[in-house]
Amino acid sequence: MEIGLEAEMPTYSGGLGVLAGDTVRAAADLKVPLVAITLLHRKGYFYQQLDKDGRQSEEPSEWVIEDFLREMSPRVSVTIEGRTVYLRCWQYEAKGVSGFAVPVYFLDTNLPENTEWDRTLTDFLYGGDKRYRLCQEVVLGIGGVRMLRALGYGSIARFHMNEGHASLLTLELLDETARLTGRQAISHEDIEAVRQQCVFTTHTPIPAGHDQFSLELVIEVLGRREVFTMPEVFCCEGRLNMTYLALNLSHYVNGVAKKHGEVSQHLFAGYVIDSITNGVHAATWTAEPFQQLYDRYIPGWRQDNFSLRYALTLPKPEVWQAHSQAKKQLIHYVNRETNTGMDVDVFTLGFARRATTYKRADLLFTDLDRLRRIAETVGAVQVVYAGKAHPQDSGGKELIQRVFQAKEALKPRIKIAYLANYDMDLGKLITAGADVWLNTPQPPLEASGTSGMKAALNGVPSLSVLDGWWIEGRIEGVTGWAIGDDGRDGGDGSKVVSSLYDKLERIVLPLFYGERNRFLDVMLHTIALNGSFFNTHRMMQQYVLKAYY
């Protein structure tokens, strides 16, 4: 449903889309014959504006499609609410290190043949109501398969459903399979044949992340179909649950980190759920000063991310130099945008992600007096924030306002900036420019998290609650620090808060200000152990081995 290819293409909202883009880039590097399909999102996700109290307002994102994409000639159609809706698509080519291209196709219903409403179906990412979303999923799933066929992809070995949004593709494959055998009705063998073609990745344990539609709405949009009464396909008492549809019709299913695989296994008992931990595309998320450093000492790291394992031999003064450059870029941007007057020599925490309740952006501000005391007695602290709240997520919007309130309350001793309109460029600037990457999700709701991996590629260690990838990536005091001593402390209650302050006060700040050499050891291990592993080269190879073969 979303993909982050370039910051200026507003076709993504957060980690799910950025991961899709990084996956495509890794496939191009590794010459994996893959194509991706998504919706055009002419009006994007949204452009975020924040007033002086942190109240968010949204505007449609404006972008010039022809500047990024090439229109393709095929036209296909799908039936929605009994109408024929015509589709075209636009192509983007992700180029790998050696020039191999992976195409990404963006479906578009804005054609004069379509009704006014149908022309808007590929406008907004995660906008509109249930009906709008279901219509979009018809375009993505059913229209997507038809477009691929029209583009000449006659035999596709595997369909990878990245989240349940694309699950309706299974219905099109069932129809194709039945048609091939000259039958109208769908048989058990057809279901088995489709299962052999499909793999599914689930990305969140949060119920709102799993689309469900009433069967009434489904019948209005898709018409009445035989499969709606087949329990092997549709399961859930009068509802179409896109996750169950994908689970039922895939032969391989995975979560996006070990813990998330286990959590999903509990959530969906009766299915076998494996895990492949997410990664990030190393060359994309490594800031320029570190790219130059790696080019000098670890040539070939772009083709072979595993070679970042040799980062332990990087000369520390040059690592500090590269980090200082990346940090300067961030601090200058912050000061230019927000007039906060941040200091490049002051310890800087970074926190940027979608503003939604479980991410707990305000956890750091639970005890303002304690935070002030730490900054006054142990060492100065400044914090850079960014993140958009979904237009309908009032909890997320309140979270942004609470950060603004803390910003005012902590002035002038602790400087806090909240950067507006978080996107991939800002993500890169903040993950590379912070001294430590802060993450405080409510376990077990962070399926993986990837921004800490971006930080790791730039030598920036994480201070994070043990959830998602950090359970695998954290070696205490070596690659960063846990908040809460084990997963159980990451929950509610005051323990996690006091652990956060304790770690800052007793370990992280004294190390940063007093033992720069040992802080650099942590930076080197962050690159060598986590940068070399939590990348999409390793992830893509695992998908090839476990899911695509």
Ligand X SMILES: *Cc1c(COP(=O)(O)O)cnc(C)c1O
Interface residues with ligand X (CB under 6 A) are 14-15, 18, 353-354, 422-424, 427, 449-451, 454
**Which residue(s) pair with 436 in the sheet?**
349
236 φ/ψ sector (left φ>0, alpha ψ -120 to 50, else beta): beta
Closer residue to ligand X, CB minimum distance, 12 or 301:
12
CB of 417 to ligand X, least distance (A): 17
Closer residue to ligand X, CB minimum distance, 204 or 340:
204
Closer residue to ligand X, CB minimum distance, 174 or 429:
429
Check if the beta carbon of residue 246 is closer than 8 Å to that of residue 198.
yes
How many angstroms separate the CA atoms of 455 and 482, rounded?
A: 16
CB of 187 to ligand X, least distance (A): 42
CB of 74 to ligand X, least distance (A): 32
Neighbours of 358 (CB within 10 A): 18
Neighbours of 316 (CB within 10 A): 14
Closer residue to ligand X, CB minimum distance, 106 or 437:
437
Closer residue to ligand X, CB minimum distance, 119 or 353:
353
Check if the beta carbon of residue 348 is closer than 8 Å to that of residue 433.
yes
Closer residue to ligand X, CB minimum distance, 449 or 473:
449
Angle between helices 394-410 and 368-377 (to 10 degrees): 40
CB of 450 to ligand X, least distance (A): 4
What values do phi and psi take at 508, rounded to 5?
A: -70, -50
CB of 507 to ligand X, least distance (A): 22
Closer residue to ligand X, CB minimum distance, 123 or 423:
423
The answer for residues whose C-beta is within 8 angstroms of residue 333's C-beta and 6 or more apart is 419, 429
Q: Which of 245, 99, 238, 277 lies closest to 166, judged by CA?
A: 245
For ligand X, which residue has the nearest CB?
427
CB of 69 to ligand X, least distance (A): 20
Return the structure tokens found at 115.
């009704």
Q: Which of 358, 202, 189 lies closest to 265, judged by CA?
A: 202
CB of 10 to ligand X, least distance (A): 11
Which residue type does 465 have?
A: V
